[in-house]
Structure 1
Amino acid sequence: MSALTEAFAAAEAAGIKQHRIQVGDLLFNVARFGKGRRLLLLHGWPEFWLVWRPVMERLGLEFELIAPDLRGCGDTGKPFPGPDATATADRHAGDMFGLMDALDIKRFGVVGGDLGAYVAQAMSHRAPERLEGSFYFCTPYPGLGFRYGQPSHLIEVWYQYLQQLPWAAELVGSSREACRIYFRHFLDHWSGDNPKVFSDLLEAYVDNFMKPGNIQGGFDWYLSSAPNRRLWLEGKLPPKPPINVPTRFLWGRRDPLILPNWSDRLGEYWTNYSLDFADAGHYVHAEVPDVAAREIRAFFSGLRAQSAAE
């Protein structure tokens, strides 16, 4: 039995079920757990739905957790056999609203980080009336500006350029060991250089990325977001109206990729938000799931109490 099969079996034994749901021409893999108010959990890169298992198990008594594999990731379908430059944040947002429509869920909360944070922002601009609230971990947003690409930070973002090259996925997937070395770097380093966070799941992650199309499927995000990312770094990205959806940010104090002090411009892009920090790196939800679940619970429960009082 592969490490990934074992991880899926353990999740299923805990009550988490995976389903296949058709959205347009794409078949999505979706993990579901719990009962209560609906929360859509959006993973980042290099992740897939399994990263949410610790948070799901901690929130299942109060919420219905819906954790899809995003377009090109995990066991969700791959729309193209090769590189795909159309997997933008807006395309992902359309996928997610389509998914929730297929589940007959009209209004829900959204939780995301990294790639999932881009998608949540696109969803907030596209149909804010459908979102009860949004909860973000370490969040890339236009306010990072040129800082994200400054010379002193290139050592952290080099991969975003490599992964746009047409042969990058073939190189990373050329052997299981090459795949392991590549993804272990991001899992360990972004966890505040703490290899214990993903050590038990490393082989499951390698199994996932060695599935046909999964390396390229994740790389497609960087290919698709490159034009806007360049405008962002150059200060030329056309501005959008601020997001009015009630929002909570929980930032890792030790995140090497999106530095916590770069949260300084959130007020230019969100009108109704709160911010706090956790003793974690980039993967707050995986590194300190007790803290993540507690904060998610408090935020969405607070929104319900506020709504009831109005």
Structure 2
Amino acid sequence: EQITGYYPAAVKIFNQTHRVTCNDNLVIEQPYSNGIWYDVGNVDGVFTNNWIEGVGFTNTEVNKNQVWPSQNGFFFEISKGAVCVGNVFVNCDHGVMILNSSNVSVYNNTFVNSLAVIGRNERSAQGDHFGWHPSTGPDVHERIGHIFVNNLLMGDENYTRPLMYVWQPNLLCESVTDQPLKEFDNNIFVKNSSTQNSPIVYWSPTKGENCQATFNNLDDMKKALPQFSKRSEYYENYNGPLFKGIQLNNFELLKEFSGAFNGVELPSSINKLFKKPVNFVGAYPPID
């Protein structure tokens, strides 16, 4: 119905909650809204085994200057600490958006035509029109500590956007130089088409113009950011074995896919939530 303002999300978790768990939920058909939104001052959220589909649109151009307006499947904003593991995001504007937050661990999720976003900007309690909002989360220099590991990100032949977007505005180039992620590895990127005009990653901060860079392949990314993606892989123009049945939205990973077991062992605290073997990528253990 394109009603805005009244319905900001399918579920909104608001204002300084602790340890709120969203597990085993289905969120679909939210083209003009968000999926599940943890907003302002939340601590140690748990987001597991959810299916999020059709949040926003995937055919709009990605803005390099800011990450909103947008619709987000899992939206974690101005908050401290969360685990996002074992979820599936299908045809979402942003599958995940972590904004002005710290210490979010994103493990073993499957993204299909859904951009994964980690962003931060200059917003702080000083001079903000909602001054108490940013004061409940990490300050500008504290928006670090994220982990993005063992994820499977796939774009089909009609998907022309990047698969991953790490963002900060250029006005923070000199003042905020620490990387927002402390781990970024063992991820698999797949595109069914060539990426000649379709990058796989936007990233900042880097040494590029406006401290932002566009990467069309992982080799260039590894040169610019050697601490990341040493064991990640990219499958360009790939149409081989991958999912059990993508036409039927069955995103179980096939053992035939050569990157299926590219995962790394999970920390015990994460494995207790995931409760599955730990040497694979994406949300599902590989099958025959």
Q: Same fold (TM over 0.5)?
A: no
Higher relative contact order (CA 8 A, sep 6+): 1
Q: TM-score range by the shorter chain?
A: 0.3 to 0.5
Which structure is higher in helix share? Answer: 1
